[in-house]
Copies of this chain bind each other. A is one copy, B any other.
Amino acid sequence: MDATPHFADDLVECLRELGHPLCAGLDPHLDLVPPLFRQGTMAPGDPETARAVEVFLREFLHRVAGRVAIVKPQIAFFERLGPEGLAVLARLVKVARGLGLRVLLDAKRGDVGSTAAAYAAAYLGRDAVLPADAMTVNPYLGLDTLEPFLETAADTGRGVFVLVKTSNPGAGDLQDRRLEGGGTLYEALAGELGKRSEALRGERTGYSSLGIVAGATWPGESERLRELLPRSLFLVPGYGAQGAGAEEALRGFVRGPGGSLEGGIVNSSRGLLFPAGSASAGSHAWERAIDDAVDRAVGELREAAR
């Protein structure tokens, strides 16, 4: 009988083997889907659109399988397509896992007790309708609202990434507020998560399946977050299209046993899905454009991790 899997242990071992932390984001902006894959009107309500997105992303998954450890579908772009979009996402999750890829569902859910439990069951539970390896959650409602996600993740060996410091320009509006008595809101939140992350630490690598989101666009804050959360995996958005370089993206990482920087994953969505040259008509040109984009990002991140 298999032991329960452990998200952080499994992911970190795979990342060490690959030698880079690149995560491929699946953000199917309809107006950016390359001509090779476009069908019909590409309007959100057109059933052909969901089909086009499915074929496009399935081909993409086949391209990146074995080269990245994990993919991150952004559920908003599938919700935009209606129920059929969610059915496409469910099939793509199966394809990805069948190809040996982990799936981090970027859903940023958060709600009160029994509602949070419904979200956790839907995406992390034993009978999940869309079984992800991990998901992102929003902490604004309070720490009690994170518990159903953490309990479900502990039960099924899956992972949770809590939004702490996001990559967008206005991230600081709430997150950077200075508190009476010192420190910022995001630091106070990280402090609270520290206690909880211990319970989800893996036996093999020591990393916790309670991770956080720490935007590449705020490298100083990522360093601070690492001090507060030494064993949490960081999901780092904002690398590439959003403006941050590889060195900034790895600022919250630490030296692993092999001497390279580790401790999280660095997401690139548009840079990998829609690279320059991928709008060419032929499928060979498209494949090469994706391969080159992955090579480039892997090269940058490996170099920066040395």
Within 8 A of B (CB), among A135-186: 138-145, 163, 166-175, 177-181, 185
The answer on a CB contact under 8 Å between A168 and B180 is: no
Give the residues in chain B near A173, CB-CB below 8 Å. Answer: 139, 142-144, 192
Q: A254 within 8 Å of B by Cβ? A: no
The answer on a CB contact under 8 Å between A140 and B143 is: no
The answer on a CB contact under 8 Å between A166 and B180 is: no
Q: Nearest residue in B to A84 (C-beta to C-beta)?
A: B83
Q: A118 within 8 Å of B by Cβ? A: yes
The answer on a CB contact under 8 Å between A83 and B80 is: no
Most chain B CB atoms below 10 A, which of A77, A84, A112, A163: A112
Q: A14 within 8 Å of B by Cβ? A: no
The answer on a CB contact under 8 Å between A171 and B188 is: no
Q: Nearest residue in B to A242 (C-beta to C-beta)?
A: B112
**Distance in angstroms between the alpha carbons of A192 and B185 in the assembled complex:** 17
Oligomeric state, in copies: 2
Within 8 A of B (CB), among A179-212: 179-181, 185, 188-189, 192
The answer on a CB contact under 8 Å between A122 and B80 is: yes
Interface size on A, residues (CB 8 A): 63
Give the residues in chain B near A45, CB-CB below 8 Å. Answer: 127, 129
**Distance in angstroms between the alpha carbons of A170 and B189 in the assembled complex:** 13
Q: Nearest residue in B to A121 (C-beta to C-beta)?
A: B80
**Distance in angstroms between the alpha carbons of A171 and B45 in the assembled complex:** 37
Q: A86 within 8 Å of B by Cβ? A: yes
Q: A220 within 8 Å of B by Cβ? A: no
The answer on a CB contact under 8 Å between B179 and A178 is: yes
* Stretch of A103-111, A258-266, A285-293 that contacts chain B: A103-111
**Distance in angstroms between the alpha carbons of A192 and B18 in the assembled complex:** 45
**Distance in angstroms between the alpha carbons of A145 and B163 in the assembled complex:** 14
Give the residues in chain B near A283, CB-CB below 8 Å. Answer: none
Q: A230 within 8 Å of B by Cβ? A: no
Give the residues in chain B near A80, CB-CB below 8 Å. Answer: 118-119, 121-122, 129
Q: With A29-B114, A108-B111, A177-B185 as known contacts, state yes or no: A129 contacts B44, CB within 8 Å.
A: yes
Give the residues in chain B near A181, CB-CB below 8 Å. Answer: 178
The answer on a CB contact under 8 Å between A185 and B174 is: yes
Query: Interface readout for A58-97 with B: 1 if CB under 8 Å, 0 if not?
Result: 0000000000000000101101111111110010000000
Give the residues in chain B near A29, CB-CB below 8 Å. Answer: 114
- Within the complex, which residue of B87, B142, B174 is in contact with A168, where a contact is CB–CB below 8 Å? B142
